[in-house]
Amino acid sequence: MAKTVTLPNGTKLPALGLGTWHMGERGGGAEAAALRTGIELGLRVIDTAEMYADGGAEEVVADAMAGLRERVYLVSKVLPHNASHHGTIAACERSLKRLKTDRIDLYLLHWRGSVRLSESVEAFEQLKAAGKIVRWGVSNFDKDDMQELHRLANGKHCIANQVLYHAGSRGIEFDLLPYHQQHGLLTMAYCPLGQAALLSHPLLAKIASKHKAATSAVALAWLMTKQGVLPIPKSAQPDRVRDFVKALDFELDAEDIALIDKEFPPPRRKTPLDIV
């Protein structure tokens, strides 16, 4: 797989992962099979959270990873109301138990809450020192949040920010994405298919036909043209996961990108961070 992203420590990952939002609510076996298909096809990054189905999604991920843990770069998240020093450590322990693993590769604060950021950072650092997590990051942080985080002791140990990003929602390109790129932060793009809205878009369908690919692959390939961006689409269907993987196999040309920019113009001013 030629398309990769590089973490601050030099680790290279395929520039595509899989998400698990809404998994674990029903049909866990089929969902685990879809995730396992992705892992077997080389999609190393699997993203989940304690919030998803109250831990049910983490249990689905555990089933999908059975016997394949060393091939997975595992991401999970702590809820903001659990993000106190002791709460973060306890939440991580619960996630590790559900995930049936001894470590989480990247542990994120799901969004900002009332707990002081410094307290959450201290907990992340303690978990890292104990080997329970390898690295940590955040989610749904805008540029001012990232700047505040970076002013804290150990705040620059953050390696990633997971935010909503797709062709129809490009607000982060105004200042947040450039900030990530300037500081070498990984941008994890959730809802990269616009909650399926992009799958029926005629322009993307036309470009997909040109490349003999699925519309989803075009939407994902477009995100992969952005430095340091790793989209994490979700599907409980192995065939759709195979469509996703094809985004790693072709490049959009200048004409494709110009057409997408015309249809979905980049931002000209600061807008509030999109959150779903």
Give catalytic residue positions.
52
Three-state SS string across the chain, please?
CCCEEECCCCCEEECCEECCCCCCCCCHHHHHHHHHHHHHCCCCEEECCCCHHHHHHHHHHHHHHCCCHHHCEEEEEECHHHCCHHHHHHHHHHHHHHHCCCCEEEEEECCCCCCCHHHHHHHHHHHHHCCCEEEEEEECCCHHHHHHHHCCCCHHHCCEEEEECECCECHHHCCHHHHHHHCCCEEEEECCCCCCHHHHCHHHHHHHHHHCCCHHHHHHHHHCCCCCEEECCCCCCHHHHHHHHHHHCCCCCHHHHHHHHHHCCCCCCCCCCCCC
